[in-house]
Amino acid sequence: MYQREISAMRLSLLLVAAALSARAAAQMPLGGQGPPVAPGGGQVQPVVGGGPLSPEFYSQSCPRAERIIAEVVQAKQMANPTTAAGVLRVFFHDCFVSGCDASVLIASNQFAKSEHDAEINHSLPGDAFDAVVRAKLALELECPGVVSCADILALASRVLVTMTGGPRYPISLGRRDSLSSSPTAPDVELPHANYTVDRLIQMFGAKGFTVQELVALSGAHTLGFSHCKEFADRLYNFRDKGGKPEDFDPSMNPSYAKGLQAVCRDYLKDPTIAAFNDIMTPGKFDNMYFVNLERGLGLLSTDEELFTDPRTKALVQRYAANSTAFFDDFGRAMEKLSLFGVKTGAEGEVRRRCDAYNNGPMPK
């Protein structure tokens, strides 16, 4: 069995190294986690507003836009290797709440709160926001007032997926930036670490995403990390469905669970303690996340449920065995996600600064 293939000592060493690196990343401004990405069923929400999106949208108005964004975010990733996971997570949190419109980038102030104030967004990583800000500054020097923050975030996500070893997928451009940002919507609209597969399928299905897209997008957990509070209920005071106490969630590899217990033992005192979502290749975009699920090395309960639920297990096994199939499906799912709830024309604006509206929020 898979559990016998991984020695307890090797797992312990991997956990110590991973926890130290993840903890350092978690102490960055605004915390940090990998993208808790997930799933659904149906048709994606249509683009609203003005003209159509196109991969060539900036070919005349800012022909070097994609190159500038790539250069900036690649430099940021080289300096801070958790940037890729952070940008992916911010992109998901942006798109899934009100569409891919950069509403998550709006900063709160004394007059108005924003998506930043939602509890689920408190741990969004500072490096991800910084990468977008740096790209926007560079673009404003080249072609001021042309490239939207929503397009920057979409392109930055693709650049970093590719840079870390993942697939390159099509991105259409021409999004406008939002004129509003809700402080309450993210906690309602985004999935939480303890959601069941039933709840995830229902949530994502309502937004037009299939079960296959759920599993493919969840593969983004191959990058990034999670704070111990997100999975502590699997490690301490665990009880099975019948109420019987267990040392830890028995679906976990025993060596892995014991190692995490040691790493996270002081998480209540220090909430920055974290562990990588993918203990084997945490900085590489690959299919190891799915291989890990087969080995009992899934970190979050939602991860483990993907392998045990009959509606998703076959997909997990397929992606674990075939990285090409995973890359193909992930790329298609990301392309679809990037078009969710997009605003064009008068539905939005091109912000001068990504963290502030040009003329204040749209009146309610």
Helix 301-308 × helix 197-206 angle, to 10°: 90
Residue 312, annotated ligand binder? Answer: no
Residue 187, annotated ligand binder? Answer: no
In whole angstroms, give the CA distance from residue 75 to residue 78: 5
Residue 29: its H or E element = none
Residue 210, annotated ligand binder? Answer: no
Exposed (0-12), middle (13-18) or buried (19+): which is 71, by Cβ within 10 Å? middle
Q: 262-269: list long-range contacts, CB under 8 Å, 24+ apart.
A: 262/12, 262/15, 263/15, 263/16, 263/19, 263/228, 264/228, 264/232, 264/235, 267/227, 267/228, 267/229, 267/232
| 93 tagged catalytic | yes
Residue 162, annotated ligand binder? Answer: no
245-246 and 238-239 beta bridge pairing: antiparallel
Q: How many residues does the chain have?
A: 364
Enter the DSSP assignment of 108: P
Residue 101, annotated ligand binder? Answer: yes
Residue 197, annotated ligand binder? Answer: no
Residue 304, annotated ligand binder? Answer: no
In whole angstroms, give the CA distance from residue 303 to residue 225: 13
- Amino acid at site 118: A
Residue 99, annotated ligand binder? Answer: yes
Residue 274: alpha-carbon gap to chain centroid: 16
Residue 281, annotated ligand binder? Answer: yes
In whole angstroms, give the CA distance from residue 94 to residue 342: 11
Residue 97, annotated ligand binder? Answer: yes
Active site residue: 93, 122, 192, 227, which one? 93
Return the active site residues: 93
- Binding site, by residue number, is 94, 97, 99, 101, 103, 115, 191, 221-222, 278, 281, 286
- Binding site for substrate, by residue number, is 191
- Binding site for Ca(2+), by residue number, is 94, 97, 99, 101, 103, 115, 222, 278, 281, 286
- Binding site for heme b, by residue number, is 221
